[in-house]
Amino acid sequence: MQNSRQRWRGWLEIGAMVALCGVLGALQYRWIGEVSVAERERLQASLQSGLNRLSQDFNEEISLLCRAVMRGDDSAYLTRLKLWQEGGRHVGMLRGAFVARPGNGDMQLLRLQADTESEDLVPWPPEWEGMRRQMLARVAGERTRGGVGARGDLTLIDLPRFGRGPGPGGPPGRELEWVLLDMDAQYLSTVLVPELLARHLGEPAAAEYLYGVFARNDASRLIAGDAVGVPDAQVALFQPQFETIFRRGGGPPGRRGPPPNAAEGRWTLAVRNEAGSLEGVVARTRWRNLGVMGGILGLLLAAVGIVLRTTRESQRLAEMQIDFVAGVSHELRTPLTVIRTAAYNLRGKIAANPAQVERYGGLIQQESEKLTALVEQVMQYASARAGKTIQAAKEPVAIESLVEACGAANEATIREAGCEFEVQIAPGLPLVLGDALALERAVNNLLANAAKYGADGKWVGLYAAKDPGGGVEIRVADRGAGIPAAEQAHIFDAFFRGRRAVEDQVHGTGLGLNLVKGIVEAHGGTVTVKSAPGQGTEFRILLPAAPDGYQDEFTDSTS
């Protein structure tokens, strides 16, 4: 009853642990989901913030060029352009600089050549024709809406130079001429943008993103990069700060312009994570975290299972040890009682009767031998548990002689059990290298078990033959009740005794077969059992033969 309660309590504890692991797993799933949402929002905000700073720096680079060219009130653009090219960081972003100046009843277009320090008259490109007419109208004093910039061209910046109004310090007059800066879209999008991405997102992070630069008014027009599809974040580009360009001095050094306004930028920069959207990246991270947590919970459950199995094994071993102590106590008490009783009787009148003295003397000898065998068995098991070898010697052993000696030593016991005893030994068996006394103990134990547990079959067999693999096999068989299949996996365990032996109160300690296995394995062999209920039991010992040198030496010595 107590064992049953302990078993149920153990299962309840295991169930509680499994339920707790399930609750922890559910909470962890929920927490990881909340963390994933927060992580996605954090990544989104961080990415957008980085792109905003990128846009400001991009616009600032263009504004630096514009301020450098328009710094003075005069038309010495060529000199200022040359100075900018000598000290500029991104000289390649300017494809060409022009001046649109009224003259000869028309609007002349002059190309600024900084390398030759010349202003060359060039024809107006056809796509700039609308800008030329608008400039002429502004010079003639006609009102036009907005500036003269040709917004259809996404890379052209028009910078007017105003005349002075009436009076000192008066407001600026109308436009006198225009500086046209033709920016290189390829350089801006493939050199400057990647550089700024690496600066504001970090080089490792920037490598994880695909980017594309598109026309703001036409999202299908890809200027550079990749078609990113649905972007994780986007920002306006190419938004020069004209209010700082025409302010004298251009504002404090290093001062950034206002945040980018998508409605004013000419380009749009869109980025997307190379592995998918941020949502997908966070989802993969979430599942990876769940996988790690699942693995940890699995390890925890596995540890609980191992602890449960170890506990059950320890409990079973403890029960077997208790049974062993009880069995050993009984095995010790019986011969000691017989010896004490015989000794007491020998002290009386029985001592004068030679036949009775001989009878009691034989009884004392028989019980002493049982007691000695029991003590020897326990000592051998204790030595094996202490790590001492079971094989004391390593000498050539003749199996024929060993099997004959074991048969002779156990024949009387087997006959007393009412069994026919059959011994067959094949001739010419090879030698075995080992301890003859230890091997005899192993075979004697099997024969004693056959007489003890297989007596109802009325037959015991002992066989020795050459194994086809070159070794030697020894078989001990009986035709008794057999061993149940459920017990066959445990019969070689220490302290194990079968259900029938316990119910029939057959004397024993449960150490014999464990020692047999230890002795055989110490000699490099194996011991197996073949049994079926009602069909008897057969133990088979397989031992390796001694090396050829020992065989030859034995043959020479016997001849």
Among the candidates 218, 244, 276, a domain finishes at: 276
Query: Are 245 and 96 in a shared domain?
Result: yes
Q: Which neighbouring-strand residues pair with 214?
A: 222, 268
* The domain boundary residue, chosen from 276, 293, 314: 276
Statement to judge: residues 406 and 554 lie in one domain: yes
CA distances from 476 to 60, 472, 484, 485 (A): 99, 14, 18, 19
Mean pLDDT by 10 residues, the chain (559 residues): 62 72 70 70 86 91 89 85 86 92 89 88 90 87 63 77 62 78 90 90 80 85 82 85 54 48 74 69 63 73 75 68 59 71 71 72 72 64 57 78 90 89 90 88 89 86 90 92 85 75 62 85 90 89 84 55
Question: Which are the contacts of 100, defined by CB distance < 8 A and separation ≥ 6?
Answer: 107, 108, 109, 110, 131, 132, 135, 158, 177, 178, 179, 180
C-alpha to C-alpha distances, 85 to 93, 482, 555, nearest whole angstrom: 11, 104, 106
For 265-289, give the DSSP string. -SEEEEEEETTS-HHHHHHHHHHHH
Residue 285 lies in a domain: no
CA distances from 559 to 399, 430, 552, 553, 555 (A): 18, 15, 11, 10, 6
Give the CA count within 13 Å in the CB-facing half-sphere of 43: 22
Domain count for the chain, please give it.
2
For 40, half-sphere exposure in the C-beta direction (CA atoms, 13 angstrom radius) is 16
Residue 286 lies in a domain: no
Q: How many Å apart are CA 172 and CA 70, to the nearest integer?
A: 15
Last residue of a domain, one of 276, 305, 324: 276
Whole-number Å distance between alpha carbons of 190 and 115 = 25
Range of the domain at 547: 389-558
Closest CA to 273 of 220, 219, 233: 233
Sequence-separated (6 or more) residues with CB below 8 Å from residue 120? 110, 111, 113
Distance CA 494, CA 88 (A): 90
Q: Give domain status of residue 102, yes or no.
A: yes
In this structure, is residue 318 part of a structural domain?
Answer: no
Bridge partners (DSSP) of residue 159 are 179
48 and 191 fall within a common domain: yes
Task: At 159, list the tokens.
Answer: 């910078």
Q: CA 358 to CA 330: how far, in whole Å?
A: 26
Domain-located, residue 508: yes
**Token pair for 489:** 């996996």
Is the residue at 200 inside a domain? yes
114: which residues sit within 8 A by CB, 6+ positions away? 78, 81, 82, 85, 97
Please check whether residues 272 and 409 belong to one and the same domain. no
- With 0-12 CB in 10 A as exposed, 13-18 as middle and 19+ as buried, what is 24? middle
Q: Any idea what DSSP says for residue 93?
A: G
Same domain, 81 and 209: yes
Task: Please indicate, yes or no, if residue 107 is contained in any of the structural domains.
Answer: yes
Give pTM, 2 decimals. 0.48
Q: Which of 223, 216, 303 has the alpha carbon at shortest distance from 263?
A: 216
Looking up tokens 């997908």, which residue turns up?
Answer: 280
> What would you report as the CA-atom Rg of the chain, rounded to the nearest whole angstrom?
52
- For 499, residues 6+ apart whose C-beta sits below 8 A from its C-beta are 484, 487
Looking at residue 384, its pLDDT comes to 57
Q: Are residues 393 and 267 in the same domain?
A: no
| Helix or strand holding residue 551 (H, E) | helix 548-558
The whole-number pLDDT of residue 110 equals 93
Integer CA distances (angstroms), 517 to 75, 408, 445, 449, 451, in order: 109, 23, 11, 14, 19
Strand-strand pairing, 459-466 and 420-425 = parallel
- Evaluate whether residue 7 is within a structural domain: no
Q: Are residues 93 and 227 in the same domain?
A: yes
Q: List the CATH number of the domain containing 507.
A: 3.30.565.10
